[in-house]
Amino acid sequence: MNKACLKFYCPDRAGIVARISEFLFANKLNIINLEQHSENGIFFTRIKWEDIENWKNEAEFQKDFASICDEFQGQVFVHFFARVQTCGLFVSRELHALAEILTKVELGDYENIQIPFIISNSRNAEKLANYYNIPFYYTPTKKDSFAHEEKQLEIIAKYSPDFIGLARYMKILSADFINQVGCPIINIHHSFLPSFVGARPYEMAYERGVKLIGATSHFVIPELDQGPIIEQDVARIRSGYSILKMKKQGADIEKKVFARALAKVFEHKVLVYENRTVVFE
């Protein structure tokens, strides 16, 4: 049997869960998971149920659910898991995050997920894309120029992906690109090195003798690296670690954090509210 879920938020008050549960019961739907909490006067919930195909698509469900949104002044997001979701991937020279995602898709770790294309400003990923039989697009970039984005937007428009994943894509996206792309963008980058920006963060971290390195995955907004955070992790650095060892450990954290962040997005466990995320288990 297919499954579906909704995410919902509204000003907190009594009776919200009861009202939503009544709606699902009236439509003969069996709830299999429900999470909820309230913070700063706002109620958040994610409910997953067994779908018996009462509605042809999410839009039909939202139309029937609109009365509850109006009643509680809330916002609902719904997904039917029978529908295949697609995620286009961007990458540069480093392939660790890309390889992690492609492997998980191949092994079926992500349910009903397809990768329709890979875009890169390096040819390093072309062999990997060919191995997985994924269309590869080489779009070279130049410093202080966004001319390549026109071609990238044409590619994205051709496939209309549900998501874009930046698997260590080392080129800043313009605000125009972010506003035109038409879907959420998820990024991964090193973190917990806040004083070390630029092209040599690990070298600078090594010189300062840092004891922790980490990675952060977040949604992309026009303000650089300021988007809502989805997932983070850290690793402790031991005395005697070389710069190369730190980079290898950093890459390992990055690919795991990126994979976990995408899993949560694909499973619709992330709700964005006022530039921060509510992440359900």
Secondary structure of residue 131 in the 3-state scheme: helix
pLDDT band of residue 139 (cuts 50, 70, 90) is very high
Across the range 233-257, mean pLDDT stands at 92
Residue holding tokens 């958040």? 44
Secondary structure of residue 144 in the 3-state scheme: coil
Of the candidates 100, 105, 140, 142, the residue with the CA atom closest to the CA atom of residue 119: 140
CA distance 267 to 110: 9
Tokens of 59: 């839009």
Q: Which amino acid is at 22?
A: E
- Mean pLDDT lowest among 18-32, 92-106, 224-238: 224-238
Active site residues per annotation = 225
pLDDT in tens, 78-102: 999 999 999 999 999 999 999 999 9
- pLDDT of 1 above 80: no
DSSP 208: H
Contact (CB, 8 A) for 250 and 233: no
Across the range 32-47, mean pLDDT stands at 96
pLDDT at residue 198 in the model? 67
Helix, strand, coil fractions of the chain, as percent rounded to 5 = 35, 30, 35
Predicted TM-score (pTM) of the model is 0.94
pLDDT at residue 193 in the model? 47
Domains and CATH numbers, the chain: 3-80 (3.30.70.260), 85-279 (3.40.50.170)
pLDDT at residue 18 in the model? 96
